[in-house]
Structure 1
């Protein structure tokens, strides 16, 4: 397989004058972008970086971040992107853990970087005004440089993503260039992307979804349209102005877009394909998106930083909740909860832990300097995801949550996702998250945290659940109305915050935390 540097050069040769990237007023063709990428490769050489060194970035989705990504592939440097909202202790940990040689940041992340001693002890490049001892990015990228050539093979490390670290310190997930390119090719095939696609580059480049979109567009002479910081009106304006043809977003971003007042007057007719990942999508939101976009293709993609693509459902609206079947480069199983072996399979319809083959072309090989994490997650040639799910009678996978999220109430297992999907179908429910809260009699009581689009009381929502197909023992016994549902920057639901009481009540008069009979 081609290394990613050669792959990028092939894209330049194939489509030199095609628009490659857009970021505000910056519009670069592939050949113009290659010149800037080459200038950064030359700068990395001058700074003494060698293949295998780590370059940490703390950037929003800007053309500079995308340029650094490609420069690192050509130079053999391991790009290690962090959330631009990261706090100082996160930056400190990741810079130290990766052994980074260079850090690139911007004004939005300056406070965290300047408060992290490890970051301040290595060389730094600034997208804004450079402080003493720092280098301005603009000075590097505007230099003349020979066309960069690949320094490494497809077996070299490409990047290292850090897991979200919601329950412990983040874990580094190093991935090889061949795995990255395999994932991009599979992404094209599974989303039916064709020549000249235009995607909205809003999913962050420190997340699998953002990286996949960036690489995939290069393979089809496509255009990556940057949206550095998500805002709904900005996204809608770019969709119309740049004639975006596909959207690949987390469910929470879709939710915010279609519920915004500006959506009704926006022209989104150029969008033909929808894809989502990062979290399950409720039945209510699926229905709303299908009605709003009438897409030719609607893909539910289930994956992770470690595996990238586990399963694909190319007709998400027809079978709500289904994550489909194993992707092109993967094999998937569901084993019993607490299974010790990859062969301890759950029966069809039985909820268990989802595992994925480590022999797949997109799979990682283990965590960065974390043998303890490897011992827990890697067994018998399979990756134990800690996600729960089941295969239905048709052989389609349904992802129901995390092993730690499963609610055991009165001896019965309840999937939060199933309850959330039920409640999402009520017209007054804007967002919902379900968790188990401690209860003396039941062990855990099913509790729904609800953000409303218009007033409704808890009794009405309970009636909705009673009249649905939801089993009675799965019905929420407590309903809490909140101002916001806590999520990560990429839209992942943070149930732990709700369990810990980190929320604000929407209206004390409408609030009902008493158990429902």
Structure 2
């Protein structure tokens, strides 16, 4: 297996004049980008950064962020990207947890960086307006340097992603060059990417989906079109102007695009392949996208930071909700809920916890300095994902949620995803999230939080559920109409915020 630095050089050799990256008015060929990466490598050397050091980034999807990513691959520095919206306490925790030697950021999160109480020995690099004790990023690429040569092999650490940490402190997920490149190659193969395709680079480079888009683009000598911050109208313009070939997004971003006023008139015929991951896609949104794009390929990709690809379904509309079967680098199984060993398999159709094989080429090897997390998640060569799902009679995997999201109501286990998919098909429902709220009688009351596309009452939605094939015990006992469904920066539903009351009511026709 090639290391990632050598992989990039191979891309330069294949197509030095091919367009590699676009960011607004900036356009760089592979040869031009390699020159800037080489300058940054030389500057990192001058700063005393070396193999095995952690470098934290708090950046949006700008060409500089992608350049830092590649420079780290050449030097053996462990790139440690954080959410650019991170709060100061999160930045402080992750920088000190990783024992980072340097941090690269921009003006947007600069206040959070300043308030993080970082050690004075940590080098600070600012992309925009460098102040006292900061290094200007532009100065690091100002001088021409010899072409960078890779200094590590495929077994070296490439980067460390931090999990979202919704219930505890974030966990570092270190990943090696070989696992990263294996994931990128599989991404190319399973999404049928062709040489020179143009990718919308909007999924954040601190997220596994964004990293995979960047690496896959280089492997096919494609063009990575940066979009620093998503907005639906802007995305439609970029897709149209840059003739984007493939989209790989979380469902929320697709939702926002198809509901934008400019969607109907946008020229999107260049898009031939759709992919989604990060969360289940409701049946309603799946149908809308199929009708709008008529894609050659519509991929549902289920994975994680720990194991990039778990399963793939290359025809998402064939069996709505199906995550397909194991990826080309992976094995997957479902064990009974609460199982302690990977051998306690669930029956076909029985909901359980999803496991992935740690022997897979894309798998991580354990969390950064978190033995207690390893003990919970890594057992006998398998990774216990914390996700729930089941295999149907055909052997296709259906992902139903998180173990922590399972609603136990009246002694029955109820998964939110099935109910959400049903309600998403109602024409008055814009978005929906289902949670269990404490209840003296039921233990947990199945509750649907609904953002409406047009007027509808709780009684009408209840009648809609009652007339469907949904089992009676799964029907929501309460509907709450909200202005919007809370989500994370990468579009995942934040059910915990609904449970804790962190939402704004849509005051019309509220359920009792």
Partner-residue secondary structure (3-state), 1:248: strand
Shift of 1:129: 1.3
Are 1:428 and 1:453, in contact at CA under 8 Å, matched by a contact in 2? yes
Residues 51-450 of structure 1 correspond to what in structure 2 (within 5 A)?
51-118=51-118, 121-450=121-450
Mapped partners of 1:467, 1:12: distance in 2: 59
Shift of 1:229: 0.5
Q: Deviations over 1:222-278 (max 9, x none)?
A: 000000000111111110111000000000000000011110110110000000000
Q: Deviations over 1:177-216 (max 9, x none)?
A: 0000000000000000001110100000000000000000
Mapped partners of 2:142, 2:291: distance in 1: 46
TM-score calculated relative to the size of structure 1: 0.98
Runs (5+) with no aligned partner, structure 2 = none
Match of 1:511 in 2: 510
Are 1:251 and 1:276, in contact at CA under 8 Å, matched by a contact in 2? yes
Are 1:103 and 1:119, in contact at CA under 8 Å, matched by a contact in 2? no
Mapped partners of 1:225, 1:271: distance in 2: 14
Are 1:208 and 1:304, in contact at CA under 8 Å, matched by a contact in 2? yes
Mapped partners of 1:352, 1:119: distance in 2: 45
Partner-residue secondary structure (3-state), 2:27: strand
- Give the count of matched residue pairs: 512
Partner-residue secondary structure (3-state), 2:263: helix
Mapped partners of 1:323, 1:211: distance in 2: 21
Are 1:436 and 1:444, in contact at CA under 8 Å, matched by a contact in 2? yes
Are 1:113 and 1:120, in contact at CA under 8 Å, matched by a contact in 2? no
Partner-residue secondary structure (3-state), 2:363: coil
Match of 1:477 in 2: 477
Deviation larger for 131-140 or 443-452 = 131-140
Q: Does 1:499 align with 2:499?
A: yes
Are 1:95 and 1:119, in contact at CA under 8 Å, matched by a contact in 2? no
Are 1:92 and 1:119, in contact at CA under 8 Å, matched by a contact in 2? no
Shift of 1:504: 0.6
CA RMSD of aligned residues (A): 0.7
Partner-residue secondary structure (3-state), 1:417: helix
Q: Deviations over 1:354-409 (max 9, x none)?
A: 00000000000000000000000000100000000000000000000000100011
Q: Deviations over 1:258-317 (max 9, x none)?
A: 011110110110000000000000000000000010000000000000000000000001
Shift of 1:353: 0.2
Mapped partners of 2:504, 2:271: distance in 1: 36
Runs (5+) with no aligned partner, structure 1 = none
Shift of 1:121: 4.6
Are 1:199 and 1:223, in contact at CA under 8 Å, matched by a contact in 2? yes
Shift of 1:119: 5.8
Mapped partners of 1:119, 1:364: distance in 2: 29
Mapped partners of 1:395, 1:291: distance in 2: 27
Partner-residue secondary structure (3-state), 1:60: coil
Match of 2:10 in 1: 10
Q: Deviations over 1:57-95 (max 9, x none)?
A: 000000000000000000000000000000000000000
Shift of 1:142: 2.0
Shift of 1:505: 0.3
Are 2:101 and 2:121, in contact at CA under 8 Å, matched by a contact in 1? no
Partner-residue secondary structure (3-state), 2:262: helix
Shift of 1:319: 0.7
Residues 446-457 of structure 1 correspond to what in structure 2 (within 5 A)?
446-457=446-457
Mapped partners of 1:182, 1:335: distance in 2: 26
